[in-house]
Amino acid sequence: MLKPDRVFDGQQMHEGWWVLIKDNKIEAVGDARQINVPATAETIELKGQTLLPGLIEGHSHLFLHPYNETTWNDQVLTESRAERTARAVEHAKATLMVGFTTVRDLGTEGAGYDDVGLKAAIEKGVIPGPRMLVATRAIVATGSYGPKSAVTEAVIPKGAEEADGMEGITRAVRSQIGHGADVVKLYADYRWGLNETAAPTFTLEELKKAVEVASSSGRIVAVHSSTTEGMRRAIQAGVTTIEHGDGGTPELFKLMQAKGIALCPTLAATESISGYRGWKKGVDPEPEGVKHKHLIFTEALKAGVTICMGGDVGVFTHGDNAKEMLLMVEYGMKPIDVLRSATSVNAAVFKLPNLGQIKVGFLADLVSVEGNPANEIKAVKEVRKVWKDGKMVR
């Protein structure tokens, strides 16, 4: 029996609620006076704390580490698969310890299908870590993605799988699913335009084919997009989520809202990269990229777009996942809505029917934090205890 001061059930905050766990599920939840506590139940007092559903990271790369430590190119080109997996093991543990009990990991960035093996090791109890939804290699248009070399004869590894045309897209989607992908990730645009500007990659027809093939297997499609045309094509294709969304316009956000397509804005990645380039937040004027992120996030909120909590962690430090939640509030979202985004909203968008809420019959993935994050969102960083599958892991 867990006795916090309050419970956020994934939708609302409730004072004086208790939660009873049996095995790996929630047996009872509600007002303390209405719960029949078994005489044999162990009681854990959580004075001054809020109990939340285990948080869900919407955009992670467990096989990456911050770019100010090692550039993306050098991670792909110079770090062995053994080193990258060893790092990923540590990243998975760090993620779980801060209350993120589930992650949607959107591409190994050159580490093949190793996320499938990492997921299996966690599920078998070999290593500690969150539940994982994996995208394996991700899919890019030929010639668009890195690493690249000025030596045209050089054969170098790519950070994602290249595919083109109806047949090529079909084969890549099916192959990644066959290798264990839970979600299909594509890049609708990338920095392959003139002078390395961002430009669309896949045609509308190619994106539609990817959605058709993935959907037939019950899988969702996540699309990286930072251009207006790339977003337009992704929306028309009927993808599930758009990552980053820097090309968003009021018109496109209205279309997203109408079609039920969610946005994962990755505010923390934008701010982190600006920091690596020398920007000192609170001291220097905001770079154009950060200003633009404020704009598109505001427009998405105005349009009523579903917002997923996902920071593109890996660009910044694993274990600092809640950085995105703090920025979402700073950028204009209400704390209670950010809590929903990181729990019940992400669970619904990612098709996780028994997670994201503290509800009878749901899996007992829980986190307790000091204080009330609905009043002060920074409380989500004051993690005290974490449960996964009904077992206390911190």
For residue 335, tell me if it sits in a domain.
Answer: no
Average of pLDDT values for 365-376? 98
For residue 234, tell me if it sits in a domain.
Answer: yes
User: Is residue 71 domain-shared with residue 48, that is, in the same domain?
Assistant: no
Task: Indicate the number of domains in the chain.
Answer: 2
Q: Is the peptide bond before 147 cis (omega within 30 degrees of 0)?
A: yes
For residue 336, tell me if it sits in a domain.
Answer: no
User: Is residue 172 domain-shared with residue 302, that is, in the same domain?
Assistant: yes
For residue 219, tell me if it sits in a domain.
Answer: yes
Q: What is the pLDDT of residues 111-150, one digit of tens each?
A: 999 999 999 999 999 999 999 999 999 999 999 999 998 8
For residue 97, tell me if it sits in a domain.
Answer: yes
User: Is residue 65 domain-shared with residue 29, that is, in the same domain?
Assistant: no
**DSSP element (H, E) containing 15:** strand 13-15
Q: What is the pLDDT of residues 24-81, one digit of tens each?
A: 999 999 998 888 888 899 999 999 999 999 999 999 999 999 999 999 999 999 999 9
Two tokens at 286?
């905001």
Q: What is the CATH number of the domain that holds 378?
A: 2.30.40.10
Spatial distance between the Cα atoms of 76 and 72, rounded to a whole number of angstroms: 6
Domain that holds residue 211: 55-321
User: Is residue 385 domain-shared with residue 267, that is, in the same domain?
Assistant: no
Pairing of β 44-53 and β 189-190: unpaired
Of 321, 348, 369, which one is at a domain's C-terminal end?
321
Of 270, 296, 321, which one is at a domain's C-terminal end?
321
User: Is residue 363 domain-shared with residue 290, that is, in the same domain?
Assistant: no
* Whether pTM exceeds 0.85: yes
User: Is residue 60 domain-shared with residue 48, that is, in the same domain?
Assistant: no
User: Is residue 24 domain-shared with residue 116, that is, in the same domain?
Assistant: no
**DSSP element (H, E) containing 234:** helix 228-237
Spatial distance between the Cα atoms of 107 and 315, rounded to a whole number of angstroms: 13
